[in-house]
Structure 1
Amino acid sequence: MKKIICFAIVLIFQSFYAQDIAAKKPEYVIIINNEISSMEKVEKYGQDGYVKSMNKGVSDEKRNELAKKLGDKIGDKEFIIVVEIYTEKEKIENDKKRSSAVAEKQTVKKPQEYILNINDKAADFTLKLIDGKEIKLSDLKGKVVLVNFWATWCAPCLMEFYDVPTKIIEPFKNDDFVFLAISKGEAEKLVSKKVEKLKKDGLSFNYGIDSDQKIWNQYGMNSIPKNFLIDQNGIVKYVSTGNATGNLENIVAEIRKLLSK
């Protein structure tokens, strides 16, 4: 009887302990010529001018096709990077085109990324959350608000999310701070399915729906993830695009500045 009780206690302990373990951050899986490769090899191909294209994320069909060949170690579809390599003939043609472009000194205008910029008044909105509740931005006056735009297909967005609990949520859980993760232009059913998985991985925060992009169209354009840090008076104080190394650390530093005022 004592052995049974001890065994039950161990099972319960293991169950609670498992819930406390942070979910492992996903890793990108690189596919070149239908084989798993490495970033070092991609960089070598890039230096030699052989990289034709590099796309993050694949369809469900493509992911399943790769899984049959390479096994489930390829992971989720959002974190698969498919790299196409030029043939020798294609590389020669591409080198000619590139040389011609340089000779003509073509200038590529950098795309605009933000509708609202630093020191602009944040556009008010009412956000419907996954659980059916609603949050109005103007009702959060007096708090520091971080608005994040993401999508279920956006690997950099998801990678960023896996760092949010430890770097954003936990440090400011006792402060006047709110994090809003707004899904850009996707159906509620699709977002709900992805959020269900994210929450199982311990990524529990305010997920909102912006299916018609009404909120997004007041804030940004082009690339995601995008972050807008809004101060206690509803003024945008920091903006960022992408998930480059150090990006969240910069956001954390700006949050601390605003909370210290």
Structure 2
Amino acid sequence: MKKLIILIFALYGFTLFAQEKDIKKPEYVIIVNNEIITQEKLGEFGKQGLIKAMNKGVTEDERNKLAKKFGDKIGDREFIIKVDLLTEKEKAELQNQPSSDNKKAIKEKNHNDELNLNINDSAKEFKVQMIDGEIINLSDLKGQVVLVNYWATWCAPCLMEFVEFPEKILEPFKDDNFILIAISIGESKEKVEQKMEKMKKYGVDFNVGIDPTKEIWDKYATGAIPKSFLIDQNGIIKYISIGNSEGNVDKIAKEIKKLFPE
């Protein structure tokens, strides 16, 4: 059971609670059965084998409802984990579910169903407006390595990913021919500007783009965010990142490094 708890905490990124370089890190609020609980209590549920699902982040409507109910206890409203617990009946049935390998295959298939472009495809051309007014055409970036990241202001995993980008992506590759284009989907310029201003307290201070009609997003993918597409110097997609589990940004950084052979 101890190993199970370690796995749960590793999988859902609780190491992000750690403080690094005096930058304040956002912390999740954990909600079970419409009540806020502690990490210790979550660990107890894990030991009992009662955790059915853990969702980092909620929809915008859910976030607003929770903020109304809990007030200041929610803090930064996006950083919410909702935990579903198993009933005793579900716990018994779980023992008869497919093996972990089969579950992994099913999960990968579901992820692939959300992609309109895949590895080794040519990246689709787009023009995006950044919040500082700059207009970027993807076709103008041939010869550069481009990381196109899709996110939204209400998406907790997206924003947690942002907190890691400066140290693990932007700083290491600042002297390389590399550019990050983080594109907010389905949101106004004003809303994105407000969120990015708030994110500065977490050390997040970089330019982002907007895709209010989801025209750019629809060329690349559907379904959940964050999703990132790593595009090489010839405009070919070399790596796709889906979600933001523990170590995800490190994997992206490793793939970027491969495109800059020494």
What code does the residue aligned with 2:243 have? G
Runs of 4+, deviation exceeding 4 Å = 46-55, 92-102
Q: Percent identity?
A: 52
Q: Say whether the 8 Å CA contact 2:128–2:137 is kept in structure 1.
A: yes
1:184 lines up with 2:185 in the alignment: yes
Q: What residue in structure 1 maps to residue 11 of structure 2?
A: none
User: What is the match of residue 64 of structure 2?
Assistant: 60
- Structure-1 separation of matches of 2:156 and 2:196: 14
1:142 maps to what in 2?
A: 143
Extract unaligned runs of 5+ from structure 1. 1-20
Match of 1:37 in 2: 37
Q: Provide the residue aligned with 1:15 in structure 2.
A: none
Contact 1:121 1:236 in 2 (8 A): yes
By how many angstroms is 1:249 displaced? Answer: 1.4
> 1:206 Cα shift?
2.6
Q: 1:232 to 1:22 in 2, by over 3 A?
A: farther
Following superposition, the deviation at residue 82 of structure 1 comes to 3.5
Q: Are residues 197 and 96 of structure 1, via their aligned partners in 2, closer, same or farther at CA, if it must alter by over 3 Å? A: same
Instruction: Give the CA deviation at 1:198.
Output: 1.8
For 2:50 and 2:246, the matched residues in 1 are separated by 26
SS where residue 42 of structure 2 aligns? helix
**Can you give the 5+ residue segments of structure 2 that lack an aligned partner in the other structure?**
1-20, 99-104
Question: Which residue is 1:246 aligned to?
Answer: 247
Aligned match of 1:17: none
The Cα of 1:35 is off from its aligned counterpart by 4.4
C-alpha distance in 1 between matches for 2:88 and 2:35: 25
Query: How many Å apart are 1:244 and its aligned residue?
Result: 1.5
Distance 1:92 1:250 in 2: 37
Matching residue of 1:7:
none
Aligned match of 2:194: 193
The 3 A distance-change label for structure 1 pair 40 and 127 is same
Shift in CA distance, 143/153, structure 1 to aligned 2, threshold 3 Å: same
Measured after TM superposition, the shift of residue 53 of structure 1 is 6.1
Q: SS in structure 2 opposite 1:192?
A: helix
Residue 258 of structure 1, CA deviation: 0.9
Distance in 1 (CA, whole Å) between partners of 2:27 and 2:48 is 25
Q: Name the residue aligned to 1:228.
A: 229
Q: TM-score, normalised by structure 1?
A: 0.76
Tell me which moved more, 216-225 or 56-65.
Answer: 56-65
Q: CA deviation at 1:62?
A: 2.2
**Alignment RMSD, CA only?**
2.9
The one-letter amino acid of 1:30's match is: I
Residue 59 of structure 1: how far off its partner (Å): 2.5
Distance 1:230 1:85, change over 3 A: closer
- Structure 1 window deviating more from structure 2 (186-195 vs 128-137): it is 186-195
On the 8 A contact 1:180/1:205 being kept in 2, the answer is: no
One-letter amino acid of the structure 2 residue matched with residue 76 of structure 1: D
Instruction: Choose 50-59 or 203-212, whichever is displaced more.
Output: 50-59
Partner secondary structure for residue 30 of structure 2: strand
Per-residue displacement from partner, 1:97-150 (whole Å, max 9, x unpaired)? 768988xxxx96832132211111111100111122200011011111111011
Task: Tell me, in whole angstroms, the C-alpha distance in 2 between the residues paired with 1:191 and 1:205.
Answer: 12
Q: 1:257 to 1:37 in 2, by over 3 A?
A: same
The amino acid that maps onto 1:32 is V
Distance, in Å, in 2 between the alignment partners of 1:42 and 1:30 is 8
Whether the 8 Å contact between 1:29 and 1:36 is mirrored in structure 2 is yes
Change (3 A) 1:236 1:52: closer
Confirm or deny: 8 A CA contact 1:22 1:202 kept in the other structure. Answer: no
How many positions carry a matched residue from both structures?
231
The residue type paired with residue 119 of structure 2 is I
Q: Could you tell me whether the CA contact under 8 Å between 1:34 and 1:66 is conserved in 2?
A: no
Could you give the per-residue CA deviations for residues 151-202 of structure 1, whole angstroms, max 9, x where no partner exists?
1111111001000001111111111110010111223222222122123543
Whether contact under 8 Å (1:165, 1:203) holds in the other structure is: yes
Q: Which shows bigger deviation, 187-196 or 210-219?
A: 187-196
Task: Give me the whole-angstrom Cα distance separating, in 2, the residues matched to 1:195 and 1:217.
Answer: 23
Q: Give the distance between the partners of 1:118 and 1:100, measured in 2 at CA.
A: 35
What secondary structure sits across from 1:138 in the alignment?
helix
